Structure 1
Amino acid sequence: MTTTGFKLALALSTTMAMALIAAPVAAQQTPAEADAPFASTDIIVTAQKREQNLQDVPVAISVVSGDQLERSNVNSAEQLFQRVPTLTFRKGNTNKDSALSIRGVGTISFSSGVEPSVSTVIDGVVYARTGQQTSDFLDVERIEVLRGPQGSLFGKNASAGVINIISREPGNELGGYVDAAWYEGNEYRIRGSIGGPLGDGIRASLTGFWSQYDGNARNVFNNHKVNGYEHWGVRGKVIAEPTDNLKITLIADYSKNSDNGFADSIGTVFSSAFNNAVFIPSLAPLTLDGKNKDIDNDLDPYTKDKNSGVSGQIDLDLGGVTLTSITAYRHWYNFQVRDGDFRSDAPSYVNTGTAAGDVRSHDRGDLKFDQFTQELRIASANPQFFEYVAGLYYYHTKEVDFFNRTVTACTASTLPTVGGLTPCATGSSTYTTNEGNADFTTKLTSYSAFGQGTLNFTDAFRGILGLRYTEDKVSYDFARRSTSLTAFSGVNPAFASAGSIKDNGWSGNVGLQYDLTDDIVAYTTYTRGYKGPALNIFFNMLARDTGRIDPEKSDAYEVGLKTRLFDRRLTLNIAGFYAKYDNYQANFLDIVAGQVVTRLTNAGTVSTRGIEMDFNAAITDDFSLSGGFNYTDAHINEFICPPGAAVTCAAAINGKPLPFAPKYKGTVTMDWRLPLDIDGFNVDLNSSLVYQSKTNFDINQNPNAFQNAYAIWDAGIKVSTDDDKYSLSFIVKNLTDKQFVIQRIPNGTSFMRQITPRDAERYFGVTARVNF
């Protein structure tokens, strides 16, 4: 960080009170509240497929507004975990291998035949893969994070929770904005939107963005920056209301990401004959002190994503009921290259054929993913004794994958052996290159019928009952070709297979809700979760991997209290939960010819329990604190070790914590409009603090695969005109320059680590914005 930036950070830190979570701020604000910018207001959510006040919904929900995301420089799903205490994010080697967890539960797998446990829904459309939502957030109105199984209304991919993203609607008057931002490290962002009426009963908006970042690490082999990106995208939305009871919404979007990361950097290498003689010396000048974030690769990491889609929603109000249809098609393309040996000089010595063999390994792959979804539902008018939402849902996806691994080894040399190692050199040695190529196609088809009703026994007492029936089918064909008849480093021999599996299941919920007062609501619910069957379809699969992975089922219990106190200036929501998952679908580490790979399996039984709290306090009309805290105990009850695992497998894992499930996490955010009385201008301060306890990353419980507890403190200042037409914002991220990783990956006798691209170091930025 520059000296000037650091001085500004210190100045900001001394003028701001510390804060606690990125938590709910108002999703909608009435005109009367415009002069009280941070006052506590009602938050409207669509968590139950209809607009409701957050305080009336018997579900634990965190809500983050688009304005708050922009102030905090939170631009994508992989940063959202800093704003929602019960959410964690696992970044894979590429976007396609990313995963989200809620309350410690999520699906981590490289298989194309399994679905996530946390569903991402954008404007009513389910995204079938976590990697589809890799682009920057675009014109977000709010994000609702529903915690725990949501089997009745969302169903698909929602056995652990839902991230429901709602974009802004075009207004009734022509308007928009343009903003541009610069951050240290050559990060640039430009965004703009324009919208308004196109004619009688028709509104439209067009929004676009471009962002670029050089990266925060370096490849010492060629001095290239890594862990950077270039992203751009556009979204158009048209809303037509030809009559008072008919609304038609059309949305189209396209985005393209080019990322030169995330790179696997080597943080720790343990002592062994091969490591001491070959691996460690070859990594110079890297400093292997556990904090290293640079790499020494002869192949730069690279990932490219293209995401596009169209959707159409029709809402027809028939007076007593509203009919809704949502039809959507999405396409995702992903391409990735990776250096699998993590060195630039391999092979340097004759390969001994052991797990510590000296080989050069390069990976390349791509996927083409298409999905079509159709939802039809009917919702009753409110209020009445029996209020309901019911519908039908169809979902079909097709993924076409190609993956190549090329491995080169020095198999003979005429040079003399020194210290038990025979060096290799061009002209004196024989090099052998083998490769494996796999083509595989995976299809998932699902049908379901669902409904949820609320019985208003009295004005204060109601019952909730929901049910969903789902039919699932997974089919695949797979063919791997290999230049070797036997396994070589990280590649199994040739194999071909095809097949399909089917299953069905029930999910649902039942609960009671009671209004203790107009401002205090208590509820208790039981939810049955269901996640469909899966297949372990991945590059290194063998006959043992063709068996079905049974559906994941859960029983979840929750009690909660939603309160508005002190003349509704304090909103305080508390929830206690317990959930048990049977046939939990999880990855287990395996070794193929000396290289670590993973296998998807029914891992057995896991459970999660804890307490959560969200709050929003308007201390004055111009000063607010908001935040949240959670205690989560997510652990493995009984692990079912896959065939071939060590006999000590279960004993080493049973009773241990689930990966990516910190026991304690909290956030707090402060917003303060300073009483400076500067004619024509306002000055707002904001600050946030995020704390996360020690986090384990490995279901095998490797004692080195964890991140110690850490806290991140951000601060910002915004100067704007009274009419909010012009504004200039300054932000300092990670004031204390706290380093942390989002994953440590066991790799034999070394440990890889992955750095969050931006927020694992202190940096300063400025944003200028014009609203019109």
Structure 2
Amino acid sequence: MHRRRLFAFLTTTAGLAVALPATAQQAADAPAQDVASTPTQTPAANPADGDVVVTARFRNESLQQVPIAITALSGASLAERQLNNVQAITAAIPSVNFRTGASNKDRTIFIRGVGTITTSPGVEPSVSTVLDGVVLTRPGQATLDLGEVERIEVLRGPQGTLFGKNASAGVVNIVTRDPGETFAAFGELGATTDEEYRVKAGVSGPLIPGKLAALIGGLYDDFDGNTRNVVTGNDTNASRRYGVRAKLIATPTETLKLTAIGDYLNTKETVAAVYASASQIAYPSRAVTTSAPLLAALGAQGITPSPTNRANATDIDTDVRDENYGGSLTAELGLGDYQVTSITAWRQWLNHQRQDYDGLTGLSTAFPQGLDDGTVNSKQFSQELRLTSPRGGLIDYVVGAYYLRGETDERYQRTLTTLTAGAPLTTVGVANYGITSHNYALFGEANVNFSAAFRAIAGYRSTWDTLDFYHVRTSSNDPTNSGAAALDRPAIRAYHNASGSTDRRGDSYRLGLQLDLGARAQTYFTYSRGYKGPAYNVYFNMRSLNATTLLDELPLSPETSDSFEIGLKGSTADRALSYSLAAYTTTFDGYQANFNDVVNGAQVTRLINAGSVRSRGVEADVTLRPTAGLTVDLSGAFTDATVRDFLCPPGAPTSCNINGQPLPFAPRVKLYENAAYRFALSDSLSMELQSDVSFSSKTQYSLNQTPSTIQPAYAIWNASVALIRPGDGWQLRAYVKNITDQSYASFLANGSFAGTVRFVPRDDRRYAGLLLRKDF
């Protein structure tokens, strides 16, 4: 039935494309650009027509003038290539990687090999995700569907001066589309051969001409999945999303602009890990442990673990329900040549997950049977106030103040059944825990313009943090709440009750020099000091705080970084060549990281100050336009991200000697190429041929350096062909993803009790699709 619906959809849309009315068009439009490069502007100048404008420093600037390693992806390009979330854009930006997981709360972004892996609500990510000027405090909030966006800006390296304490590795800045001054609408339909159906639509225009304009858009996306649970008979790795976003812009006076934004996204997912191997390889001995019981359990279900396996056998399908919503009000007031900006925002994130803890079906003497059920309720309120000076004088600047209150409450329950003396024994463990945080900051950044071509950069942010946590754990095996360690069960610990608080102050700053090399090139050198505040390791199975066990509830010290970066940006006069080059070295001290451990035969993690790590490398973005209609984008990153001095936590095995080893999610080489050629078939019809290739060298997915969690090098090749009617806004695009049918893992990890599991990415195998869009 799905195939019949897909065939009907494809034939209908093809017929619509053929039947489109003709309108005159002298020449084909240029293809959408992916990695934007624009001529240099002096500090006093406004970006020229056709330049890509970014807001990386809280003012509109030409991308090529900003002294930061930054990539901008247009919303049109993202939609055409079906890059619909932050995880998908990692292929197009070599310095960015993404850690997936069964639930949104387990996912996070990495830039230049640095990110924060944790399920604890007591720590913020190292990469900040900003949505229309609002910082998202939890990593899971960043997994939203992008919807209709104007562009995404990815700022690499510490950005704490302007973006705050959770930007020590970089920023993903999402800018959504504004309503236009005339009435407009858009509609988008998509379908794939592996049964993904996507609908996106919206309307925009003035409600009161010159005074009030609005845009409202919605989306629905349903993916059937690309793995299968042989026990339930259901496809897994599936998702269903629907959401809406509304933006209202009012200009009651010539000097006042008000922007109100509200958005809601509802997600259901069945993301499940599958067994890639029945073995685990130890570090550093490389001893291989193969589990015969695991092989037998999988074999009984007809599953052979392998790097291409797409089947699992669990009692239930992983079920994650997620709601992500909020609203903001931005006021921009002109005071002569100065501008005051206020951003008031509130957001809430609700997450409910049900997972098969043991990853198998049935109960045996070798493996227990477990079911996890957890909820997250995270709320945040923020207020930002900024003053922006005019440009062109000796000094231009942005100064401001920031306040954030975040509150996260979680409940996690694990039901575990084991065979004891031949009889099943069921234990239920429940943990209620949470965090309340307050963040206050004063910040500013300035250019000192020694001349029209030469300037100094100086920025500073002072941050105050207060952090409170609570944690109450109960176990049915400890009915009197004695807390005795003898009552611990595998993966379920006895009663525990704790709370605590900490407060710290820290500094972020940036110093640099920038020199314009003529009208269309510039070079810069910057030193940045990054700061990420204190943290608590608060999660379901954390260890107790007493004299005989590890001190998991002591607050983690802040994470700091020192970064040096030199860059060169520019373009030729006719923009046939645009380029951006950067070289950097960044050292992180007090690095906040998860370290895997085994307690009573079960995998657990500890969030620790892991010591010192370093990321250094070279990045390049080059755009070629050798002839009309042809654009070639080339991007590459060489990243040497390694552990300098790892601090083994108390009680850890000697195998935690990982000095000199690579950081997880940090391939040494990533490359990306995209070529698009648009040409006219007639006065009213154009065609675009597009092809892109991404390459990643081998990637270690575990800080523990286990050889079984290394993904070998791989390359993915995609291509598309589109028929475009520029005059009346129609576009029909056919595409193929993963043409060579290359299988790979987006994440590898040790299984709960044995073996190695892999998470299967969306493009783990070849599929094709059609996309039809109409702009009215």
Flag whether TM exceeds 0.5 (same fold).
Answer: yes
Structure 2 residue aligned with 1:276: 292
Counting only pairs closer than 5 Å after superposition, residues 79-98 of structure 1 correspond to structure 2 as: 79-98=88-107
State the 1:156 CA deviation.
2.9
Cα distance, 1:566–1:274 mapped onto 2, change above 3 Å: closer
For 2:361 and 2:717, the matched residues in 1 are separated by: 37
Structure 1 residue aligned with 2:43: none
Structure 2 residue aligned with 1:335: 352
Structure 1 residue aligned with 2:428: 435
For 2:317 and 2:561, the matched residues in 1 are separated by: 42
Structure 1 residue aligned with 2:22: none
Select which of 29, 37, 57 maps to 2:66.
Answer: 57
Select which of 432, 454, 458 maps to 1:465.
Answer: 458
Cα distance, 1:273–1:655 mapped onto 2, change above 3 Å: closer
For 1:507 and 1:126, the matched residues in 2 are separated by: 17
- Does residue 641 in structure 1 map to residue 652 in structure 2? no
Amino acid of the residue matched to residue 204 of structure 1? A
Counting only pairs closer than 5 Å after superposition, residues 318-329 of structure 1 correspond to structure 2 as: 318-329=335-346
State the 1:245 CA deviation.
1.1
For 1:684 and 1:452, the matched residues in 2 are separated by: 43
Worse overlay, 487-496 or 365-374: 487-496
Listed one character per residue, the Cα deviations across residues 190-211 of structure 1 (whole Å, up to 9, x for unaligned) are: 0001000000311100000000
For 1:535 and 1:600, the matched residues in 2 are separated by: 8
Cα distance, 1:694–1:563 mapped onto 2, change above 3 Å: same
For 1:64 and 1:265, the matched residues in 2 are separated by: 33
Structure 1 residue aligned with 2:730: 726
Structure 1 residue aligned with 2:307: 290
Cα distance, 1:520–1:746 mapped onto 2, change above 3 Å: same
For 1:190 and 1:612, the matched residues in 2 are separated by: 36
Cα distance, 1:626–1:477 mapped onto 2, change above 3 Å: same
Counting only pairs closer than 5 Å after superposition, residues 211-610 of structure 1 correspond to structure 2 as: 211-261=221-271, 263-270=272-279, 275-277=291-293, 279-283=295-299, 284-345=301-362, 347-349=363-365, 357-413=366-422, 430-485=423-478, 486-541=487-542, 542-543=544-545, 544-565=551-572, 567-610=574-617
Cα distance, 1:213–1:40 mapped onto 2, change above 3 Å: farther
Select which of 663, 670, 679 maps to 1:665.
Answer: 670
- Does residue 683 in structure 1 map to residue 663 in structure 2? no
Amino acid of the residue matched to residue 473 of structure 2? R
Q: Percent identity?
A: 39
Select which of 700, 707, 729 maps to 1:696.
Answer: 700
Structure 2 residue aligned with 1:749: 754
Amino acid of the residue matched to residue 614 of structure 2? S
For 1:769 and 1:658, the matched residues in 2 are separated by: 41
Amino acid of the residue matched to residue 611 of structure 1? V
Cα distance, 1:461–1:690 mapped onto 2, change above 3 Å: same
- Does residue 142 in structure 1 map to residue 151 in structure 2? yes
Give secondary structure in 1 for the equivalent of 2:312: coil
Amino acid of the residue matched to residue 426 of structure 2? T
- Does residue 716 in structure 1 map to residue 723 in structure 2? no
Cα distance, 1:454–1:98 mapped onto 2, change above 3 Å: same
For 1:278 and 1:661, the matched residues in 2 are separated by: 30
Structure 2 residue aligned with 1:420: none
State the 1:474 CA deviation.
1.1
Q: TM-score, normalised by structure 2?
A: 0.90
Q: Are the counterparts in 2 of residues 697 and 705 from structure 1 also a CA contact under 8 Å?
A: yes
Amino acid of the residue matched to residue 662 of structure 1? P
Give secondary structure in 2 for the equivalent of 1:341: coil
Give secondary structure in 1 for the equivalent of 2:654: coil
Q: Are the counterparts in 2 of residues 265 and 752 from structure 1 also a CA contact under 8 Å?
A: yes
For 2:37 and 2:187, the matched residues in 1 are separated by: 23
Size of the aligned set, in residue pairs, is 718
Q: Are the counterparts in 2 of residues 302 and 336 from structure 1 also a CA contact under 8 Å?
A: yes
Amino acid of the residue matched to residue 431 of structure 1? P
State the 1:185 CA deviation.
1.5
Give secondary structure in 1 for the equivalent of 2:178: coil
For 2:623 and 2:49, the matched residues in 1 are separated by: 7
Q: Are the counterparts in 2 of residues 438 and 479 from structure 1 also a CA contact under 8 Å?
A: yes
For 1:322 and 1:198, the matched residues in 2 are separated by: 26
Q: Are the counterparts in 2 of residues 188 and 211 from structure 1 also a CA contact under 8 Å?
A: yes
Q: Are the counterparts in 2 of residues 492 and 592 from structure 1 also a CA contact under 8 Å?
A: no
For 1:267 and 1:139, the matched residues in 2 are separated by: 36
State the 1:569 CA deviation.
2.0
Q: Are the counterparts in 2 of residues 151 and 468 from structure 1 also a CA contact under 8 Å?
A: yes
Structure 2 residue aligned with 1:187: 196
Q: Are the counterparts in 2 of residues 738 and 760 from structure 1 also a CA contact under 8 Å?
A: yes
Q: Are the counterparts in 2 of residues 23 and 627 from structure 1 also a CA contact under 8 Å?
A: no
Q: Are the counterparts in 2 of residues 491 and 592 from structure 1 also a CA contact under 8 Å?
A: no
Worse overlay, 477-486 or 561-570: 561-570
Cα distance, 1:551–1:681 mapped onto 2, change above 3 Å: same
Listed one character per residue, the Cα deviations across residues 429-461 of structure 1 (whole Å, up to 9, x for unaligned) are: x21100110011211110000000001100110
For 2:745 and 2:503, the matched residues in 1 are separated by: 39
For 1:767 and 1:77, the matched residues in 2 are separated by: 20
Structure 2 residue aligned with 1:11: none
Amino acid of the residue matched to residue 483 of structure 1? S
For 1:175 and 1:505, the matched residues in 2 are separated by: 47
Q: Are the counterparts in 1 of residues 294 and 754 from structure 2 also a CA contact under 8 Å?
A: no
Cα distance, 1:27–1:90 mapped onto 2, change above 3 Å: farther
State the 1:121 CA deviation.
0.3
Structure 2 residue aligned with 1:421: none
State the 1:134 CA deviation.
2.3
State the 1:411 CA deviation.
1.6
Cα RMSD (Å) = 2.0
Listed one character per residue, the Cα deviations across residues 215-268 of structure 1 (whole Å, up to 9, x for unaligned) are: 00100002111001110000000000111111100000111001111x011110
Give secondary structure in 2 for the equivalent of 1:280: helix
Worse overlay, 144-153 or 721-730: 721-730
Give secondary structure in 2 for the equivalent of 1:686: strand
Q: TM-score, normalised by structure 1?
A: 0.91
Q: Are the counterparts in 2 of residues 143 and 164 from structure 1 also a CA contact under 8 Å?
A: yes
For 2:117 and 2:332, the matched residues in 1 are separated by: 36
State the 1:724 CA deviation.
4.1
For 1:209 and 1:575, the matched residues in 2 are separated by: 37
State the 1:62 CA deviation.
0.8
For 1:118 and 1:528, the matched residues in 2 are separated by: 15
Structure 1 residue aligned with 2:116: 107
For 1:522 and 1:462, the matched residues in 2 are separated by: 11
Structure 2 residue aligned with 1:34: none
State the 1:342 CA deviation.
1.2
For 1:667 and 1:452, the matched residues in 2 are separated by: 33
Q: Are the counterparts in 1 of residues 475 and 495 from structure 2 also a CA contact under 8 Å?
A: yes
- Does residue 176 in structure 1 map to residue 185 in structure 2? yes
Listed one character per residue, the Cα deviations across residues 365-417 of structure 1 (whole Å, up to 9, x for unaligned) are: 0010000010000000122211000000001110010000110112233xxxx
State the 1:301 CA deviation.
0.5
For 1:770 and 1:520, the matched residues in 2 are separated by: 38
Structure 2 residue aligned with 1:12: none
Amino acid of the residue matched to residue 253 of structure 2? T
Runs of at least 4 residues of structure 1 off by over 6 A?
A: 271-274
Select which of 24, 28, 31 maps to 2:35.
Answer: 24
State the 1:27 CA deviation.
10
For 1:740 and 1:365, the matched residues in 2 are separated by: 29
For 1:301 and 1:607, the matched residues in 2 are separated by: 36
State the 1:674 CA deviation.
2.6
Q: Are the counterparts in 1 of residues 37 and 570 from structure 2 also a CA contact under 8 Å?
A: no
Amino acid of the residue matched to residue 603 of structure 2? V
**Which runs of 5 or more structure 1 residues have no equivalent in the other structure?**
9-20, 29-38, 350-356, 414-429
For 1:365 and 1:527, the matched residues in 2 are separated by: 39
For 2:398 and 2:306, the matched residues in 1 are separated by: 56
State the 1:22 CA deviation.
8.4
Amino acid of the residue matched to residue 348 of structure 1? S
